[in-house]
Structure 1
Amino acid sequence: MGASGWDYLVPYDGGVEAALKRLRAEVFASGDYYWTYGEDRPKPATEEELWADHNVRESMTHSVLDIFEVGTGDPWGGRTFGKTFEVTEAECTAVFGTPRPTADDLGSDLEEPTQQLLAERGVGRHLIIHGADGPAQILFFGATGD
């Protein structure tokens, strides 16, 4: 099947870790993720059941569910799979022309700019989007799957 790119824009409410946790719960509850069995089997009732399935662990969910924690350090280094890393101010400046982008700075097509910021498949990134009063939203993005 190959990897799938994904992105989610969520409110900055309680910080990155809290936002990631809420987003993962929302995506799981909505069922908006790749299920290796299609319509042949119902989707699991819990994330534990989802990840207990060998086929899911192999093919992943092609969604933010494949990102389990907020990482620190360099997303281009080792031991980064399943983590999301903040886009640095230097990266923001290089890609968006400002160290603290607003929604207007992002534009309507995020595919090309976000692709430049992805280290590898299975590693997410997150970008803090600023409003008039500071952090307003978080853009989580990545490419996961087999």
Structure 2
Amino acid sequence: MGASGWDYYMPYQEDRYLALVTLRTLVFEAGEFLWAVSGKMAVDDPGRPRTEDELWADETVRLKGTHSILDMYRVLADDETPNYGYLPYPYETFEEYMALVKEHGNPEYGIIVPVGEAEAYETAGDTKLTRDHVEAIVPLAKFPGIGRLAVLHDERDTPAELYFWGFSGD
């Protein structure tokens, strides 16, 4: 099937991990994830799991993921360096990617990497990102199984939303 892209907007809150936990709960309860056992979106499958423990108890799900934010479990701190497991930008094909993984180790899957000010400025030309910048920052989610997070500001430069995005799954 391949990895699937996902993105979500959440009202801004300072505690980004709490925002992730809240978002995961909302997505799970709404069934907005792939239930790998049936190959259907969970919302369309009456036999889907009713708890996250049931979801992750299934080996198929652990291998294929949910193609959603449910595949993410941790938000890195601003000063934390992500463990991509390889040098982050020098590949263009899957074969090159796999060679780098073999040489340098596996990435730390399931993490959310916040967009820092320098990266925001380099990518979008501004340190106070807004919804107008989303198209410019989407390519920052380069690695499967590693999500991104940006604080989006309103017209008064006040934090208004958290934007989570990435791609995950088999």
Q: TM-score range by the shorter chain?
A: 0.7 to 0.9
Q: 1:15 matched to which residue of 2?
A: 15
Q: Does the CA contact (< 8 Å) of 2:128 and 2:157 recur in 1?
A: no
Q: Percent identity?
A: 40
Alpha-carbon spacing, 1:95–1:33, altered in 2? closer, same or farther (3 Å): same
Deviation digits for residues 99-132 of structure 1 (CA, Å, limit 9, x no counterpart): 11122343xxx3x6312x1241101110011222
Normalising by structure 1, what TM-score? 0.87
39-48 or 82-91, which deviates more:
39-48
SS at match of 2:121: helix
Q: For the pair shown, which has the larger CA radius of gyration, 1 or 2?
A: 2
Q: 1:118 aligns with which of 115, 137, 141?
A: 141
The residue number in structure 2 matching 1:65 is 70
Q: Secondary structure at the match of 2:165?
A: strand
RMSD, aligned CA: 1.9
How many residues were matched structurally?
Answer: 141
Deviation at 1:86, TM superposition (A): 0.4
Q: State whether residues 75 and 119 of structure 1, in contact with CA within 8 Å, keep that contact through their aligned partners in structure 2.
A: no
Name the residue aligned to 2:150.
127
Deviating 4+ runs (over 3 angstroms)? 76-79
Pairwise CA distance, 1:40: 6.9
Unaligned runs of 5+ in 2: 86-106
Q: What TM-score comes out, normalization by structure 2 length?
A: 0.76
